[in-house]
Amino acid sequence: MPNLPPIKRFTTRSGARIYRIAFDFMPNLSGRVYLLLGAGAPVLVDAGSPAATETIWAGLSTVGAEFGESFRPEDLRRILVTHAHVDHYGGLAEIVRRTGAEIGVHALDRRVVSAGLERLMIAEHAFRAFLRRAGVAEADRSRLLEGFGRTKRRLESVPVDLLLEEGRDIDGVRVFHTPGHSPGHVCLLVDDVLLAGDHILSRTITQQWPESIAPYTGLGHYLESLDKVKGIPDISLVMGGHEPPVHDVYDRIESIRASHMRRIDRVLAVLRDSPQPLTIDEITGRLYDRQTAFHAFLALTDVAARVEYLDERGRLAVANLDEIRDEEVPAYRYQVA
């Protein structure tokens, strides 16, 4: 297990306190939730994975004991969820049982939280069709599909109490809808500090998915959401769901954008170098080693997001129109337009 960073206090420009609590999520990946005090009622931003609840609860208790806050975990009034991925909302049910806190999430991620099984079945249906269109062989399809649902199937659904709409202010927190990594992803601004979920991370380029799996994801939305954050003036600190804080978010946004442009260029280069048109699976195979099912899944969906982005902008041609006319769910073969 990696060493988790200790609980740390950050103070915003107007004196609100943000406590960062880290938890183990996967090997080599820890997550973070944030307790906000002094802006309004006590708020927790994100709820961690189901297995993280005891770590988070201990962290919430520490804030009262070690930082001189008159706060007990039971005082929590709201949990605002940046996006409905397991490491951000998986702990909701248990924390709500202990505190009675209200849950806030964006409408586009709402039913993943409140009706998880329904959304999982719909997402798996879209994912199955996507794998065929992407040209993935049958044996790999079932392996990828199995990995897609594994963690989500066990999650307990919980009712959502309030919707995090663009521009809304809740307990001193301003909501910005930043779709891309997730349809209902939000960034939450507290004075000059932005709690950015997985939208902007300090080291990693945020995972992308094609809109053909989930509407309102997609690289186009993601890049627009980066622009939205760039337009927020005077952010002095960004803290995300993983990794250390970002101190110069405007600079970080430029390097994330440049990285995406390089990744897009790599897809175009692979297609130009190939004597025949390629499926998304074939493009992925030329760009990445895919040792584990998890890496294969991330690589495939990331490349698919880039192909979709290029296709939506008229940069690609589809070569196998006969198959698309004759087959129910054909694989698409792309070349540069």
Interface ranges with Zn ion (CB under 5 A): 85, 87, 198, 241
138-149 vs 116-133: helix crossing angle, rounded to 10: 160
Q: Supply the minimum distance, in Å, between the C-beta of residue 241 and Zn ion.
A: 4
Alpha helices in 82-233 (DSSP H): 86-89, 92-99, 107-114, 116-133, 138-149, 219-230
Q: Supply the minimum distance, in Å, between the C-beta of residue 114 and Zn ion.
A: 18
Residue 87 vs 94, nearer CB to Zn ion: 87
Q: Supply the minimum distance, in Å, between the C-beta of residue 32 and Zn ion.
A: 9
Chain residue whose CB lies nearest Zn ion: 85
Give the length of the chain: 337
For residue 130, CA distances in Å to 125, 280, 329, 331 come to 9, 10, 9, 9
Closest CA to 264 of 309, 231, 326: 309
CA-derived radius of gyration, the chain: 21
Q: Supply the minimum distance, in Å, between the C-beta of residue 221 and Zn ion.
A: 14
- Name, in order, each residue with C-beta under 8 angstroms of 80's C-beta and a sequence gap of 6 or more: 43, 44, 45, 46, 104, 105, 164, 170, 173, 186, 188
Residue 50 vs 241, nearer CB to Zn ion: 241
Residue 87 vs 302, nearer CB to Zn ion: 87
Residue 57 vs 89, nearer CB to Zn ion: 89
Q: Supply the minimum distance, in Å, between the C-beta of residue 50 and Zn ion.
A: 14
Q: Supply the minimum distance, in Å, between the C-beta of residue 188 and Zn ion.
A: 15
Residue 35 vs 331, nearer CB to Zn ion: 35
Residue 160 vs 310, nearer CB to Zn ion: 160
Closest CA to 44 of 10, 8, 5, 92: 92
